[in-house]
Structure formats: C-alpha cells, structure tokens
Amino acid sequence: MAKEKKLVEAITSMEEDFAQWYTDVVKKAELIDYSSVKGCMVIKPAGYAIWENIQKELDARFKAVGVENVYMPMFIPESLLEKEKDHVEGFAPEVAWVTYGGLNPLQERLCVRPTSETLFCDFYAKDIQSYRDLPKVYNQWCSVVRWEKETRPFLRSREFLWQEGHTAHATAQEAEERTELMLNEYARFCEEVLAIPVVKGRKTDKEKFAGAEATYTIEALMHDGKALQSGTSHNFGDGFAKAFGIQFTDKDNKLKYVHQTSWGVSTRMIGGIIMVHGDDSGLVLPPRIAPTQVMVIPIAQHKSGVLDKANELKNELAAKFRVKLDDSDKGPGFKFAEQEMRGIPVRIEIGPKDIEAGHAIIVRRDTREKIIADLNEISVKVAEVLDTMQKEMLERARAHREAHTFEARTYEEFKDIVANKPGFIKAMWCGDEACELKIKEDTTATSRCMPFEQEELSNVCVCCGKPAKTMVYWGKAY
C-alpha cells in the first residue's frame, strides 16, 4: 500500500501546477526519459508505441491521397541552406553544424536538417523536367534538429520525430488544393483518432513559415487553456522554385516554374494528447491511438482458476483489441493505479466472485464508470465501451474548448480575458503587424490563426480601432 500511495502521490495535481503535472505524467507514464544529451529525450516503449500508431494511421491516410514516401539525407550543405533568403534567415540561427568528418575538417560545413525544403528543392531541380514528371507528392518520416534553448518533452526538443511532405505541381491552383487537402487530413486525423478538436485557419504573415506564401494551421486548446499548434501546411507558390531553378516544360512547350507545398506533424501531437485528455491520475489515451486498449487485471489471482480465466479472457479479446494481462505479483490496487497512470482506456477486473457470477467488470479510464458485462458477450461490450469512450472524449474536449473560447470587442475586454480566463480569444484585427506586436507585448497572447470559419464580431480592430479585415483566434501558446 505504501507503494501505491507513492505512485499516486508522485503526480502533482493539474490545478496546482500544470507544467509540473505534465512533466510528472510523461515520466510516470514511462513515455520518455531524459538523456545525457541536453535537450534530447529518450522515447521509451510506451511513448514510441503511440508514435508508431500515429505513423501507421497517418501513413495509410497519406497513401490514400497519393503520397509516396522517400528518404533524403540528414545533412544540408551551408550553401544549399542559403539559397532561399527567408528560409535561411528563419532557420540558420537554430541549426546544429557538423564541421568534422572523421579526423578531417569539412571544406563546407553541413547542418543537420531542421526541415528539408532545400534538399527536396535541390532534388526536384534535377528530377523534374516535363509536365509528365508532375505532380511530385513525396513525404518522409524522419527526425529533425533545432537548437532550442528551452526544451520540454514532446513539445519542444532539440531533436524530434516528424513527417514532412514536400510536393511540386504544375499550377498554383493544384498547389493550393494540396495545401488545403493535407490540412484537412490532419484535422480529420486529430478529431477522429486523437479525439482532439482543432480550429483550422491561416497564419498571419508574422507567424507563417520562413519562405512560405501562406501557412495553414490546426490549433488545439489544451486543458490549461493554452493553444498548441498541432500541424501546419504551407503553400510556397513558386518562391522556392525560382530560388532553386525548378522548371518544367509544360504541354504548351513553355518552360514554367513549379508550385510547391510542404506540410508536417510531429511527436508534438503526443504532447497534445497528454494535455487535452490527461487527468490527475495520469495519462488518458483515446482508444483508437492507445497501444494497449484493454488491461485485464485478475483479482485474488492466487485463487484457483482465476489466472486461467483471466488468460482465456485476454486471448478471446486479443482477436479484436490490443489487450494485455497484468499477472505480475503486485496488488490489484497498484495495478489499477499503473493502468490509470499509463492511460490504458479500459481495464477489466475479474475475480473469483465474478467468475462465479459469469461476468467481469469493465472500468473506463476517463469516467471511472464500471460496467458489469456478461462473459458471453464481453467482446461486444468492450467494443461498445471503447467506441463510446472515443466519442465522448472528443465531445468533452470540444465542450472544454467551447467553454474556453471567448470573444473580445474592446482592448480592455481582450486584456481582461487574457489575464483571467485561459483559452482562445476571438477578436477582430486590422491586418497590421504592429497590432500583433502590441498585443503580444501587452498580454503575451499571439495570433493563432485567421480561422477559415469567419465571424464578424465588429468592424474595427480590437487593438487599434481601425477598420477590421479579419477575425483572428488569439491565445497563449506552447
């Protein structure tokens, strides 16, 4: 019992200190460990398995919309990084530089990719000649490096895992369509699989990607009212094509520049899952992404027949679910606490009395609801519970977001909300970067996006009072 207490006590409560709660959960749920390499983490089996499921699910969705996977080198020669002016300015200050190969200094230093636009462009410039070579819809799953000063597991680390799609198209329209298509894929994935509702919109010029003509984003609201940029899709127009000379001969026999896009999501999404769904007992994983969906926990397992029955149950469920049996020599209370800490969506308790009664007890991780299920129909029941849980987790996250989305019509209102009500703020904006900067300085809130679903809250900018151009979601962000 001392041990059980220790496990539970180990987590700071969310209300008390959300940042500490987050750190406790990633450690105690055994998602990551810190490494000897400052700012880089070790992703442990429980954490990596979530990433594997994200990859598997997203990769299938990508392939269904024509994406092909490739692999580019992890190094970028300095001269290549410098080819696109905005891009190098955006990334050069935060890259890691390789200066020695073996015992010899390199003639030209190489950066470890912070993102691979330049490598894809260099490749496309050679590989694309004719309209017949288009479109190119390539993606890679890899790790990238950005030399961040402040790091937090999953949210901001010097190395992180991601996918980066890079496409080239014959027309501006096709590039725009691909940019939107991929953003929609991300949004659907977040809602359907991660049970995270997102706001889709466009970044302001200040917040857009270095080198992009337009950046689209999905923004999610965390439990503490902060925003998490969860995926982005960029339309590059022909800017990179001109910098890298990516031209093709079109059907009309004219030489034209391609139009490009890029889009990516990362292990950051795991941070989002934790901060949207977690509670004071630890992680809560949506059933569709959970590496283990069901944990069978025998009660009084030393008693004759219990372990056999628990094993039988596990094997039966394994045909339809990702299921494990905890037959370790720990006490049931400790096993419950562990299963809860790790966010396993349901546990099934089964002891001598249950076996006698011909049932088992299904316990939902999110609501703690206990459902007594007949052993004859347990598989159907588990499927129902997991489906319901998946659906209700999304609904709950949506309700939380709606309860924490505010409207500000005056600057006083805006400042009051930022100071007192954590969440998204919808407010009108004139389109001037000066107002964005002022709002950030006054409140630390930043523009999250100009949502595709616009509303006209008023006709003046919340900051300067000049005519408004667009409604913006504002918020403090990770």
Q: Does 45 bind its own copies (CB under 8 A)?
A: yes
Angle at 447 between CA 444 and CA 449, to 5 degrees: 155
Candidates 14, 58, 72, 344: give the one binding its own copies (CB under 8 A).
Answer: 72
Segment interacting with its own copies, rule: CB under 8 A, options 69-77, 341-349, 378-386, 427-435: 69-77
- Contact call for residue 143 and its own copies (CB under 8 A): yes
| CA nearest neighbour of 43 among 163, 191, 143, 149 | 143
Q: Is 127 in the site for its own copies (CB under 8 A)?
A: yes
Task: Figure out which of the listed residues 26, 80, 88, 128 binds its own copies, where binding follows CB under 8 A.
Answer: 80
Instruction: For residue 367, give every residue at least 6 positions away whose Cβ sits within 8 Å of its Cβ, in sequence order, or none.
Output: 389, 392
Residues 6+ apart with CB under 8 A from 371: 361, 362, 363, 364, 381, 385
Per CB under 8 A, the list member of 18, 21, 51, 186 interacting with its own copies is 51
Question: Containing H/E element for 358?
Answer: none
Binding to its own copies by residue 98, rule CB under 8 A?
yes
Examine residue 255 and tell whether it contacts its own copies (CB under 8 A): no
SS3 state of residue 451: strand
Burial class (CB in 10 A: 0-12, 13-18, 19+), 145: buried
Query: How many Å separate Cα 185 from the centre of its chain?
Result: 13
Specify the amino acid at residue 82. E
Cβ proximity to its own copies: between 157 and 261 the closer is: 157
- Which of the stretches 105-113, 208-216, 227-235, 314-322 binds its own copies when contact is defined by CB under 8 A? 105-113
2 contacts its own copies (rule: CB under 8 A):
no
Nearest to 452 by CA among 262, 264, 253, 187: 187
Applying CB under 8 A, does 131 fall inside the site for its own copies? no
- Decide: is 253 part of the binding site for its own copies (CB under 8 A): no
Q: Does 123 help bind its own copies (rule: CB under 8 A)?
A: yes
Contact (Cβ atoms closer than 8 angstroms) between residue 390 and residue 286 = yes
* Residue 112 binds its own copies, judged by CB under 8 A: yes
**Which residues ranging from 310 to 369 are in contact with its own copies (CB under 8 A)?**
none
Residue 83 DSSP label: T
Q: Which of 2, 15, 60, 126: binder of its own copies (CB under 8 A)? A: 126
**H-run or E-run covering 27:** helix 18-28
To the nearest 10°, the Cα dihedral for 285, 286, 291, 292? 80
End-to-end alpha carbon distance in the chain: 37
| Ordered DSSP codes for 142-203 | EEEE---SS-BTTTB-SEEEEEEEEEEESSHHHHHHHHHHHHHHHHHHHHHTS----EEEE-
User: Rule CB under 8 A: is residue 122 a binding residue for its own copies?
Assistant: yes
CB of 76 to its own copies, least distance (A): 7
Binding residue for its own copies (CB under 8 A) from 7, 10, 49, 371?
49
- 3-42 mask for its own copies (x: CB under 8 A)? ------------------------------x-xxx--xxx
CA distance 1 to 208: 52
Asked if 99 touches its own copies (CB under 8 A), the answer is: yes
Residue among 95, 290, 385, 397 that touches its own copies (CB under 8 A): 95
Q: Does 71 bind its own copies (CB under 8 A)?
A: yes
Applying CB under 8 A, does 145 fall inside the site for its own copies?
A: yes
Min dist. Cβ of residue 3 to its own copies (A)? 12
**What residues make contact with its own copies under the rule CB under 8 A?**
33, 35-37, 40-45, 48-49, 51-52, 68-77, 80, 93-103, 109-110, 112, 119, 122-123, 126-127, 138, 142-143, 145, 147, 158-159, 161
